[in-house]
């Protein structure tokens, strides 16, 4: 039997009616019901044109195994995760997050609201490929319950954030699922909210669903024109958040993480912060200054890190987790706490950003055939270690390799998980340092690829 991998780093995702089909959703439903054997599964969806189709197929599959289904309708992913912890033994979100409108996907959560671990996804795949599904007897088939949890979720976030504000906020929801939560949440907090792209529409007529700077640059001038204190932009399923300050400047994603890391460490008088391998030294600097410690984990595995290191805060770029509220990425808690942070500091967001140290980042890819990747990484690590030997403070090898240097600069060389490329990322404490380290690392990696190609090795 051909075993095609269904789950990637963010669940199942791909073009609708090609990779992601109603048939596949039915199988995932049957497989998940078989896996948990009994209990309740919460199901929700984003605003995509294909989400209802996939949801219905998935729910049929779940019901055929005898589990109970709670349908939550169109809500953001963090609200599904929270609801699963309250109501379910597992949860499913139909979403392709920030992908184009032509895609969709399926993300599975456990009863704590944590995305399924790799082993759990592999078990779902195994059941699908074996075809050994549980089949409920006629009198064991359960009903669907429908619940509107939006108000309860907003109340939970309000309780946790515990703050009233008078700030003016510009909110760009990308016509995604965040439209049904963010404006209401912020208004409940007292904020004056101006929305754009804030009605759900699976065609994403306003802008692309990914809130990377190029897609939302227009918010900068709007911030100034409207005189707001900050702008917040979200992705299609609203777990991600991007921010502009009151001057219309985009807040770099590492800086946003550093702001919260600093806040948590100061509140706790220390503690551990978990972040991914691709984030910068400004986070280490503020955490160490506050008496805390940073641990880095592979992309997509912050939950493991939180448990292992008992972290008070965890984040990947744009994806912030507040463990005291829940072990999922929660953009709504993030926006509430960010407003609280601005108010309580008595400063503007741009002033807060200025307190975070600036470093200089560059990233570029080197093309590298899949079969050369491992050897290239080994060669490059060896040579770069030789070249930098007296400057290295710490070597991390959880995904490719990363050299943290004594002066706070760092070099990361890691294989792309999805493309025939090796990523070279350098952050320097000065512009000049960035340039010289990047030139060194990029040349070493390019030469290693060239040498292998020439010799026809591997």
- Rank residues 65 and 234 by Cβ distance to Mg ion and give the closer one: 234
Nearer to Mg ion, 235 or 253 (CB): 235
From 219-227, 237-245, 407-415, 428-436, span contacting Mg ion (CB under 5 A): 237-245
Could you tell me the smallest distance in angstroms from the CB atom of residue 209 to Mg ion?
8
Give the Cβ contact number of residue 18 at 10 Å. Answer: 9
By beta carbon distance, the residue nearest Mg ion is 97
Instruction: Tally the C-alpha atoms within 13 A of residue 223's C-alpha that lie toward its C-beta.
Output: 25
Structure tokens at 456: 């026809």
Give 421's contacts (C-beta < 8 A, 6+ positions apart): 365, 366, 367, 368, 415
Closest distance between Mg ion and the C-beta of residue 36, in Å? Answer: 24
Judged by beta carbon, residue 321 or residue 448, the one nearer Mg ion is 321
What is the arrangement of strands in the sheet containing 271-276, beginning at the earlier edge strand?
292-297, 271-276, 313-316, 319-321
* Main-chain phi, psi angles of 449, to 5 degrees: -65, -45
Cβ-based nearer residue to Mg ion, 97 or 272: 97
Stated as kind and residue range, the H or E segment containing 58 is helix 51-64
Q: Which residues pair with 105 in a beta bridge?
A: 13
Spatial CA neighbour of 358 closest among 246, 452, 433, 273: 433
The whole-angstrom separation of Cα 321 and Cα 197 is 25
- Span 39-98, contacts to Mg ion by CB under 5 A: 97
* Least Å from the CB of residue 115 to Mg ion: 11
Candidate ranges 130-138, 152-160, 228-236, 388-396; the one touching Mg ion (CB under 5 A): 228-236
Q: What are phi and psi of 103, to 5 degrees?
A: -100, 160
Catalytically annotated residues:
97
What minimum distance in Å lies between the beta carbon of 98 and Mg ion? 5
Tell the smallest beta-carbon distance from residue 101 to Mg ion (Å).
14
Smallest CA-to-CA distance from 330 within 167, 170, 160 is with 160
Cα separation of 414 and 276, whole Å? 13
Piece of the chain touching Mg ion by CB under 5 A; list 192-200, 213-221, 236-244, 401-409 = 236-244
Residue (239 or 330) nearer to Mg ion, CB = 239
How near is the Cβ of 264 to Mg ion at its closest, in Å?
Answer: 23
- In the complex with Mg ion, the residue whose CB is nearer, 11 or 292, is 11
Stretch that binds Mg ion, among 196-204, 230-238, 242-250, 383-391 (CB under 5 A): 230-238
Calculate helix-pair angle for 253-268, 331-345, nearest 10 degrees: 70
Interface residue with Mg ion, options 46, 239, 284, 330 (CB under 5 A): 239
Q: How far is the CB of 433 from Mg ion (least distance, A)?
A: 34
Q: Which positions from 149 to 178 touch Mg ion by CB under 5 A, shown as an x/- string?
A: ------------------------------
Residue 115 in contact with Mg ion, rule: CB under 5 A: no
Of 67, 2, 54, nearest to 28 by C-alpha is 54
CB-side exposure of 268: number of CA atoms within 13 Å?
Answer: 21
Of the candidates 261, 300, 359, the one whose C-alpha atom is nearest the C-alpha of residue 7 is: 300
In the complex, minimum distance from the CB of residue 233 to Mg ion, in angstroms, rounded to a whole number: 12
- Cα–Cα nearest to 290, from 356, 358, 361: 356
Task: Let me know: does 219 contact 171? Beta carbons within 8 Å.
Answer: no
Residue 29 or 211 with smaller CB distance to Mg ion = 211
How many residues touch Mg ion (CB under 5 A)?
5
| Residue 34 or 95 with smaller CB distance to Mg ion | 95
Among 210, 237, 253, 427, binds Mg ion (CB under 5 A): 237
DSSP 210-243: ---HHHHTTHHHHHHHHT-SEEEEE-TTS--EEE
User: Site for Mg ion (CB under 5 A): which residue of 121, 235, 252, 254?
Assistant: 235
CA distance 116 to 93: 12
DSSP-assigned letter for residue 115: B
The residue ranges that bind Mg ion (CB under 5 A) are 97, 235, 237, 239-240
């Amino acid at each position: 039997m051909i075993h095609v991998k269904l789950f990637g780093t963010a669940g199942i995702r791909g073009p609708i009616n090609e990779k992601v089909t109603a048939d596949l959703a039915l199988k995932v439903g049957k497989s998940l019901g078989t896996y948990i054997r009994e209990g309740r599964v919460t199901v929700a969806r984003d605003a995509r044109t294909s989400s209802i189709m996939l949801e219905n197929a998935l729910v049929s599959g779940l019901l055929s195994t005898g589990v109970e289904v709670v349908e939550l309708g169109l809500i953001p992913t963090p609200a599904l995760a929270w609801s699963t912890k309250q109501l379910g033994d597992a949860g499913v979100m139909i979403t392709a997050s920030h992908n184009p409108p032509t895609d969709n996907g399926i993300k599975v959560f456990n009863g704590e609201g944590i995305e399924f671990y790799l082993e759990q996804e592999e078990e779902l795949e195994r059941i699908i490929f074996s075809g050994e599904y549980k089949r409920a007897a006629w009198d064991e088939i359960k009903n669907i319950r429908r619940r509107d949890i939006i108000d309860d979720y907003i109340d939970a976030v309000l309780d946790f954030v515990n703050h009233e504000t008078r700030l003016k906020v510009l909110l760009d929801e990308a016509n995604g699922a965040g439209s049904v939560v963010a404006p209401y949440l912020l208004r409940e907090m007292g904020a004056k909210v101006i929305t754009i792209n804030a009605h759900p529409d699976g065609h994403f007529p306003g802008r692309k669903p990914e809130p990377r700077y190029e897609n939302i640059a227009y918010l900068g001038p709007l911030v100034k024109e409207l005189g707001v204190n900050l702008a917040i932009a979200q992705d299609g399923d609203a777990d991600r958040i991007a921010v502009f300050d009151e001057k219309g400047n985009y807040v770099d994603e590492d800086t946003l993480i550093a702001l919260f890391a600093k806040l948590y460490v100061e509140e706790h008088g220390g503690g551990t912060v978990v972040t991914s391998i691709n984030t910068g030294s400004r986070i280490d600097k503020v955490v160490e200054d506050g008496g805390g410690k940073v641990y880095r984990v592979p992309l997509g595995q912050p939950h493991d890190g939180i448990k292992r290191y008992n972290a008070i805060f965890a984040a990947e770029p744009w994806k912030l987790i507040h463990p005291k509220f829940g072990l999922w990425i929660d953009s709504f808690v993030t926006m509430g706490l960010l407003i609280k942070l601005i108010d309580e500091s008595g400063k503007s967001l741009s002033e807060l950003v200025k307190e975070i140290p600036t470093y200089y980042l560059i990233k570029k890819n080197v093309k590298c055939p899949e079969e050369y990747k491992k050897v290239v990484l080994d060669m490059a690590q060896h040579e770069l270690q030789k070249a930098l030997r007296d400057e290295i403070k710490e070597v991390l090898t959880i995904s490719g390799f990363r050299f943290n240097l004594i002066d706070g600069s760092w070099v990361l060389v890691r294989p792309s998980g999805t493309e025939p490329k090796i990523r070279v990322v350098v952050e320097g404490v000065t512009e000049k340092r960035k340039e010289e380290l990047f030139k060194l690392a990029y040349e070493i990696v390019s030469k290693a690829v060239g040498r292998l190609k020439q010799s026809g090795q591997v």
